[in-house]
A and B are shown apart, each in its own frame.
Chain A
Amino acid sequence: MKPSIRWVMVGAILLVLREVVPAADWTQFRGPGGVAVSEETGFPLKWSETEGLRWKADLPGRGASSPVVAGGRVYVTASSGFKENKLHVLAFDATSGKKLWERTIWSTGSTQCHPKTCMAAPTPVTDGKAVYALFATGDLAAFDVDGNQLWYRSLVSDYPTITNQVGMASSPVLHKEVLMVPMDNAGESFLAGIDKKTGKNLWKIERARDINFLTPLVIDNGGKAEVVFPSPKELAAYDVDTGHKRWSYESADVASGIPSPFPGKDGLLIPGKQLVCLKPATDGTTPTELWKMSEMQTGHMTPLYYRDHIYGVNGAGALLCVDAAKGETVWKHRLKGPFSASPVAAEGKIYLVNEEGTTFVVEPGAEPKTLATNKLKGPMLATPALADGAIFLRAEGTMYCVGAKK
């Protein structure tokens, strides 16, 4: 299928921009458009180490990055070595689990980080023709689907003051020909629009020198493609083609730096000290604040908008359901955390993976039900990918494909 661009209706007003990819693809962090929802059907309900797996494969190292899937291939990153100085990009056949290729690069930036994370924290992004892998070290590599190196950049060589000793985790996103690379850190900070074919900068926007772990979101705002990229101090939206700032919103409420922005029913949802629902203006003026609520404190995970409600797990391990129109809590449902991975949804079910490797399958509604509790070997920090009728779960040293064998 030839990729094309279209506006995809998420809620009543807000649109997210996503390439029209086959339903079987999951192309970036939280899937196409960053909405974390698959329109596919036939996903499994129950599984374990011995049942329900299509395949599993060893990985050469750690990773908090999610797998991405396109054209029947699964791409995943990992980091290994005493100083975590080896950075891996791997491709597997989505049906058989056969490893198709693996490429390794040496890190060129610092590998210092909090022990919970690692250098393979950002999720790669693919357009089905190539995969673009960013690592916490600032190494950025582009390969075609067969593992041919298209280009490679050492961003720390380009901008030597880049530094985040906690460990960078923001993932790149794609729109048409522009690969947007977030690089908020304690040194030279920027959002760069990079030509996906050549690896050269198309534009580069200076940002506040502050660490930030969230992934930008591409939206349609009045027919214009914008990339929304909050920082702990300011939410800013930039023109995808030029990098020019289109609008911004400053509020202490959005200060978080970890959960990413996501599209909701009537507007843009910004997790932070409060979950804020904003309706962007199309004329560059300050967005309208529709509502905000403080109860949705999800730590590392990005909440999920799904069928008029918002879902996320708070620090106490309670899955919250919030009315997306009003910003009011509808119910709470106890789960066993902690959670780092973000929830994803399909077929009326929500999949939540805790750090121990247990996936809770929850059917929301007036009365939430946990339909299944599926244990695999953790730790699991990565958000799952829903693609090709299967759930792709990434553990520290193992890639699982959960689904019926083909």
Chain B
Amino acid sequence: MGNPLIRGFVACGLLAAFAASAPAAETDALLKTIKSVKREGVGAADAGKAWAELVKQGPDALPAILAAYEGADATAANYLRTAAEAIAQRGLNASQTLPAEKLEAFVKDRKNPGKGRRLAYELLVSVDAKAPARLLPGMLDDSNGELRRDAVAVSLKDAQALTDKPAATDAYRKLLNTARDKDQVDLIAKKLKELGVEVDLAAQYGFIQKWALAAPFDSTEGKGYARLYPPEVAVDLDAIYPGKKEEKVRWKAQTTTDPYGLVDLNKVIGKVKGAAAYAYAEIESPEERPVEMRAGCINALKIFLNGKQVFAREEYHHGIDVDQHVGRGTLKKGRNEILVKICQNEQTEPWAQEWRFQLRICDALGGAVPMTVVEPKVKGETPEGKVRK
């Protein structure tokens, strides 16, 4: 939070702050009301009233608020956050103390909900400027992305101060294993390159670089986005499909060397407007595990994992970035099928001509998961232009 209002707020006499706690049942009832908000504002006004009562309880309510992140949806999480902030800020005016020891204990216990831990950390830092130096070194592998990011940032600064080449290389190598955010990973890779160490960024991020592509299918007036072409029913890499303008469509292998897995369909398929393309990949996973399928795509997009749609977004030419879209699914142990549908529309403006995508598979923090990408066996053209038989 870094809020000057509560920065400098002296934390002492910690347990005393809990001496006059409101009845736990009352606090629980208020938190239950906040966590009961439904869609379209149903229960929102009641949650607002509960919020006010909760805040009146002062710092005593903070541990319960943080614990309430367990099972809280995104809406409730924000009511809880603003309540905790209000308590902290008003505590300054009322000369109350924050329960710093309890906050720190909550942060340290990784079994606690991530958002609650992050909030506890920010409240703690607002009253204890030494907390980051004390806590962050132990958070390089934290399960909360924001805490881990802060920890990596501190260690990155330390690594950049190293003048000994082997020591710096070692420090950056360790950080490469822990960093998850693109700006930090890219910086570490750059520093390692300067030290003579090449980083396979695609592998580091978990980008898929080997695909089988089938296109173009017709998507005149955007209708191909909803239409189920054969690859969406079942992928047959030997099949020949009727494509746009009666063109015969075959699967063809495509390997991208882009470190961020970018596939430019205009180059690979050709500049076709009003068209749909399918990209298919197979991966081997050593275990069953939940994953995120993160894509960047400037066109309308659908992502399927083992035949199940995990993401869909019908939006064209509004930008592309790594991790722009996130689908969630579960990898099976063994072979998994990934299918991506990328639709190009018929806009004629110069800025509306791109047709490209990228996809990576990672854990919830953005770290690559163990997997082996299987080269697709297709009968169509190889990247070299030869026909496989």
Q: Residues on A close to B: CB < 8 A?
A: 60, 81-82, 99, 101-106, 108, 110, 112-114, 139, 141-142, 147-154, 157-158, 161, 163-166, 186-187, 194-195, 197-201, 209, 211
Contacts and interface: CB of A to CB of B under 8 A. Distances in A.
B321 A112 contact: yes
24 contacts: A82-B183, A101-B86, A101-B89, A102-B85, A103-B82, A103-B86, A105-B81, A106-B74, A112-B321, A147-B86, A147-B89, A149-B79, A151-B44, A152-B79, A153-B41, A161-B314, A165-B324, A166-B319, A186-B316, A187-B315, A194-B41, A199-B41, A200-B40, A200-B41
B255 to A, nearest CB: 27
Contacts of A197: 45
B3 interface: yes
A201 B40 contact: yes
B314 A151 contact: no
B96 to A, nearest CB: 16
B315 A163 contact: yes
A220 B146 CA distance: 49
A338 to B, nearest CB: 18
Nearest to B75: A154
Looking at B1, B79, B318, B324, which has the most chain A CB atoms within 10 Å of its CB?
Answer: B318
Contact of B318 (A101, A108, A164): A164
Interface of B: 1-5, 39-42, 44-45, 47-48, 51-52, 55, 73-75, 77-79, 81-83, 85-86, 89, 115, 146, 149, 181, 183, 313-316, 318-319, 321, 324
Nearest to A148: B52
Contacts of A166: 318-319
A164 B41 CA distance: 22
B181 A82 contact: yes
A112 B89 contact: no
Contact of A60 (B2, B39, B40, B85): B2
Contact of B86 (A99, A114, A148, A161): A148
B318 A186 contact: yes
Contacts of A198: 41, 44-45
A178 B55 CA distance: 27
Nearest to A140: B41
B296 to A, nearest CB: 9
Contact of A151 (B3, B47, B181, B316): B47
Contacts of B4: 99
Contact of A165 (B55, B77, B181, B315): B315
Nearest to B51: A149
Q: Which 3 A-B pairs have the closest CB atoms?
A: A165-B318, A151-B44, A199-B44
Nearest to B122: A104
A263 B287 CA distance: 64
B315 A103 contact: no
B82 A149 contact: yes
B115 A105 contact: no
Contacts of A114: 319
A141 B47 CA distance: 12
Contact of B314 (A101, A104, A187, A194): A187
A108 B81 contact: no
Contacts of B86: 101, 103, 147-149
Nearest to A113: B319
A141 B78 CA distance: 10
Given A82-B149, A104-B81, 15 more contacts: A102-B5, A104-B1, A105-B78, A112-B319, A141-B82, A147-B86, A150-B48, A154-B74, A187-B313, A187-B315, A194-B41, A197-B45, A200-B41, A200-B44, A201-B41
Contacts of A147: 86, 89
